[in-house]
A and B are shown apart, each in its own frame.
Chain A
Amino acid sequence: MEEKFAHPELRTPENLVYKRTDLLVDCPLSYCPGCGHGVVHRMLMEVLEEKDIASKTIGVNPVGCSVLAYDFMNIDMLGAAHGRAPALATAIKRLWPDRYVFTYQGDGDLAAIGTAETIHACNRGENFTIIFINNGIYGMTGGQMAPTTLPGMRSSTSPYGRDIDIMGHPLKITELIAQLPGTYYVTRQSVQTPAAVRKTKKALRKAFDLQDEKKGISFVEVVSNCNSGWKMTPVQSNTWMEENMFPAYPLGDIKVNGELVK
């Protein structure tokens, strides 16, 4: 195909300003077109590359769409049973305190089946990073309702919308764990715009920097889209997320240096 507006003369190593990091394996990601998981993977790998800690980092992948994260992140990874990533990460960090350790978990993994592991790891003040991808749904298994599903939100198991009277309230687990003394840094970000992506990267950087201080859990929630589960185009899903998810899950820091942000 002829590229009409191409400028091959500009494509030199000195002029290179952005390319996919080599810490992402050179293979197609398994995610649906437009899914935020891919952006978070890339920002995470960029942070490890910039800190030059890839060989000293161990990740724990969840069960969920990102179960295959070990295929995409070119670092040491272990797969946990569904929801148990914080327990496995606890063992890894305690056995290898000089390693950087993180879990990467969806909302079904972290806030449903793994609620106990999440809360206790946070309460114990383990020294690893939790990356929490909240798309308000069980993406991998076909879009079932999750604890994080919004009131009135349709899913395959709440086809008429989540009815609070019958199905209970959404669980704001991030606000909940921020109350625990073992969490040191808790923030909520997103990745649907360039500015949001830059902020998420900064938050991830801070979370890994804090592992050196050994003051407890650094927790980065990323409110993300699941356009397949939400039955929308990727662009529609990002707008829907801004209009509906952000009011319920407001972006910004929740706890900094062990203090709740007022």
Chain B
Amino acid sequence: MAKIKGDIVVNIERCKGCEVCLAACPFTCIAMSEEVNSKGYHFAMKVNDDCTGCSNCALVCPDGVITVYRAKVTVA
């Protein structure tokens, strides 16, 4: 069976921890890290495997730090 699977890459050092991307994700894929980056911000990170690569998070990110990938994968 073919399924759409997505992945995001957050530029951790550029993330300002604003949390605007969290609410934009339809699948609650993003949460804030416990750790902080060198500026002291908690950063956005993927916390489940439900991402479809819809790009919603990347669109609303004020700093444009999210890159999105999407592919059709075959699952058993």
- A residues with a Cβ closer than 8 A to B are 1, 3-7, 10-12, 14-21, 24, 28-29, 31-39, 42, 191-194, 197-198, 233-235, 238
Q: Chain B residues near A21: list those with CB within 8 A.
A: 64
* A34: B residues at CB distance < 8 A: 16, 18-20, 62
The verdict on B28 contacting chain A, using a C-beta distance below 8 Å, is: no
Chain B residues 16-38 with CB under 8 Å of chain A are: 16-20, 22-24, 29, 33, 35
Q: How far is the CA of A64 from the CA of B67 in the complex (A)?
A: 29
Q: Could you jot down 17 A-B contacts, CB within 8 Å? A: A3-B45, A5-B47, A6-B7, A7-B5, A10-B7, A11-B69, A16-B67, A16-B69, A17-B6, A18-B58, A18-B59, A18-B66, A34-B20, A192-B60, A194-B60, A234-B18, A234-B19
In the complex, A77 Cα to B15 Cα: how many Å? 27
Q: Shortest Cβ distance from B37 into chain A, in angstroms?
A: 10
Which residues of B does A touch, CB under 8 Å? 5-7, 9, 12, 14, 16-20, 22-24, 29, 33, 35, 41, 45-49, 51, 53, 55-56, 58-71
| Chain A residue at smallest Cβ distance from B13 | A28
Asked if A235 contacts B19 (CB within 8 A), the reply is: yes
Would you give the shortest CB distance from A54 to chain B, in whole angstroms? 16
Give the complex CA separation of A14 and B56 in angstroms: 19
